[in-house]
Chains A and B, each alone.
Chain A
Amino acid sequence: MNTAFPFPLSGRSVPFSLGRLGIVAGNTFLEAVRQKLFNFLLLLAVALVASAQLFREFNFGSSELKFISDFGFGAMVFFGSTLTIAATAQLFFSEIENRTALTILAKPIWRTEFIFGKFLGVFAVVGVFCALTTILLLGLLYHRETALMTANPEAFEAGRIIHYGDLVLMGVLQWLKFGVLAAFTLLIASFSNTNLYTVVMGFFVLVICHLQYLARDAYGSVASLPLRLLVQLLGYIFPNFQVFNLADQIGIGVGIDAAVFLRVAGYALIYIAVIGALAVYSFRNREI
């Protein structure tokens, strides 16, 4: 081996590097797509989305298309949430339990790069999942809408009724929602000792985020001031996942309001940034 190595490393400072972050993200993505769980959930989701055709309402009208759309996004939400929590916990703890984290963190790399790299790797995996299920759903809807247009031209006199672009935006919003969920799961993993605890807590967070609007509605007007403030505080800590559900507003019949879309996307990105920063802070103090 050459003793005169051609690049000097000593005396260099080590600034934060998006390149190293990308390397960790790429490796996380590669690990995830080679895991059976990802393939299994993807197959299940694809099967469920595709099966929406079999359970449709046979009235040859727009409600059938609405059913396919709702069923497809329901499958995406269910399997996407499961995939997000399981993949985030598994990809983090595989590094800890297999001690590969030791070999990485013993290199000149910031823990911030490691955590955000992990997040981006999972976010990319979930992005692929959302893209594939959305494309499949769009294909199914297009195929069925075309068939219905042929069979019932009078119902489609004004042309196609599905706003396909808005359905793509709906897929993007689900992806961002999964990003918030992945950040929360990573935050839990950063201080948790076991994979199982992280997964269980991740599902708790998922349920809380989906149902917190009910608590706000119930306590917002009737409860005492301290309780109301507590509920409001919890409302800020846990994002309201209902805001990502624009299925009733977009896609079929009516279009999406661009301002609403941007506001929801911004809402998700702010949560991802804040929760991600908390995960970094927690992980920096973790003894590996």
Chain B
Amino acid sequence: MTPNTPASAIEITGLTKDFSLNLRGVKLRAVENLTLTVPQGEVFGLLGPNGSGKSTTIKIILGLLEPTVGECKVFGVPSGRVDSRLNVGYLPEAPYFYRYLSGEELVRFYARICGVPKKVLKDRVREVIDWVGLTGASHRRVGTYSKGMLQRIGLAQALVHDPRLIILDEPTAGVDPVGSAEISELILKLKKQGKTVLITSHLLAQIEDICDRVAILDKGKLIVEGAVNDLVGLRDRQSLIVDSLPPAELDELRGWLAARGHVLNAVEQPRTRLDQLFLSKVSRPKKEGDSQ
């Protein structure tokens, strides 16, 4: 990080956004006095029920909406300025791209918009398509892609100019568990490359697995924010996983703990997660694209 580079990828201060509902001046407050910082190099989850203000916040970060009050900066640049988007890649919810273009044409189109130089354009487009695993389908029209493939080509267009901040709005909406797991893997790879990722999702298990920090919005207000481990970990509890104990030895252990002033709160059989079971049983499609 250079001395001029801010430590935060996104810095939102006192942000309020009102939408006018009619000409009589009735307004809907979508976001209220939001102050939030997304540190560089982290995967940050923005959570909340429908209508909580997540998408509005993202649109303000992207400069698509103007805040009513407050400010939003991306790498230190006010988000309303065009140059604030030089280092931002964005995958919208349920992306619908130009159906008449092939995957490669689509990514090339966005790369040219972003100013990727001609001398590296072709290689960069192919590289990023390969990275999301769509090389074999890159010459097919986007209109023939499955939802999982659309998400991946959307990720490719978001990454083609090598942004430092990637914003993913519901990247796994409507995607099957295999596709969802692949997107999670890609996000973790991005984190390893030092990218900052801001993600919204209703799949809280996925968020818990991949996010360093989360913020929860409700009715436009920030109600919880912090590191995932701090928020979901029970600090006064520990779990020990051992081989199955016979009842007599379990009683002995319970007595041993009681003698030291501790209580054995629960004896449970550990379970694998349903999504992990699913992924271990289902064959994954080849990297060239989803099986149709």
- Write the nearest CB–CB distance from A287 to chain B, whole angstroms: 5
Annotate B234-269 by CB proximity to A: 1 below 8 A, 0 otherwise. Answer: 000000000000000000000000000000000000
Interfacial chain B residues near A5, Cβ < 8 Å: 124, 162
| Residue in B66, B98, B164 with the greatest tally of chain A CB atoms within 10 Å | B98
> Binary interface profile of B, 140-172, with partner A (CB < 8 Å = 1, else 0)?
000000000000001001010111100100000
A102 to B90, CA, bound (A): 9
Q: Is B109 positioned at the interface, with any CB of A under 8 Å from its CB? A: yes
Residue from the list B75, B85, B92, B194 in contact with A107, Cβ < 8 A: B85
Chain B minimum-CB-distance residue to A107: B113
Question: Which B residues touch A110, using CB under 8 A?
Answer: 82
Total A residues in contact with B, Cβ cutoff 8 Å: 34
Q: Does B278 contact A (CB under 8 A)?
A: no
Q: Which of A109-131 contact B (CB under 8 A)?
A: 109-110
Instruction: Determine if A27 is an interface residue (Cβ-Cβ < 8 Å).
Output: yes
When A and B form their complex, which 3 residue pairs have the shortest distance between CB atoms, in order from nearest?
A5-B162, A106-B90, A1-B131
B113 touches A104 (CB 8 A): yes
- A–B complex contacts, Cβ < 8 Å, 15 sampled: A1-B127, A1-B131, A5-B162, A12-B86, A27-B109, A99-B95, A102-B90, A103-B95, A103-B97, A106-B92, A107-B85, A108-B115, A109-B113, A287-B19, A288-B65
| Bound Cα distance A3, B94 (Å) | 28
Which one of A1, A13, A105, A287 contacts B128 once the chains associate, using CB atoms below 8 Å? A1
Of the candidates B65, B100, B131, which one forms a contact with A31 in the assembled complex, judged by CB atoms under 8 Å apart?
A: B100
Residues on A with C-beta less than 8 A from B193 are 1, 3
A89 smallest CB distance to B (angstroms): 18
A14 and B82 form a contact (CB under 8 A): yes
Q: Which B residues lie at the A interface, using CB under 8 A?
A: 19, 59, 62-66, 75, 82-83, 85-88, 90, 92, 94-98, 100-101, 109-110, 112-117, 120, 124, 127-128, 131, 154, 157, 159, 161-164, 167, 193-194
Q: Nearest residue in A to B87 (C-beta to C-beta)?
A: A10
B106 CB to nearest chain A CB (Å) = 10
Chain A residues with CB below 8 A from B83, complex form: 12-14, 108
> Does A236 have its Cβ within 8 Å of any Cβ on chain B?
no
For A33, give the chain B residue with the smallest CB separation: B100
Bound-state Cα–Cα, A10 to B109, Å: 20
Give min CB distance, B53 to chain A, whole Å: 14
- A108 near B86 with CB under 8 A, answer yes
Shortest CB-to-CB span from B21 to chain A, Å, is 13
Cβ contact within 8 Å between A100 and B86: no
**Nearest chain-B residue to A109 (Cβ)?**
B113
Q: A23 on the interface (CB 8 Å rule)?
A: yes
> Please, which residues of chain B bring their CB within 8 A of the CB of A104?
110, 113
- Using A12-B86, A14-B86 as known contacts, say yes or no to A30 and B100 having CB atoms under 8 A apart: yes
Question: Are A109 and B97 in contact, with the CB atoms below 8 A?
Answer: no
Q: Say yes or no for A98: interface residue by CB 8 A criterion.
A: yes
Could you give, for residues 251-288 of chain A, a 1 whenever the CB lies within 8 Å of some chain B CB and a 0 otherwise?
00000000000000000000000000000000000011
Check A105–B116 contact: CB distance below 8 A.
no
B85 touches A99 (CB 8 A): no
| Other A-B pairs beyond A10-B75, A108-B83, A108-B115, 19, CB < 8 Å | A7-B120, A9-B162, A10-B86, A12-B83, A12-B86, A13-B83, A14-B83, A20-B115, A27-B98, A30-B101, A31-B98, A34-B100, A103-B90, A103-B97, A103-B110, A106-B85, A108-B85, A108-B86, A108-B114
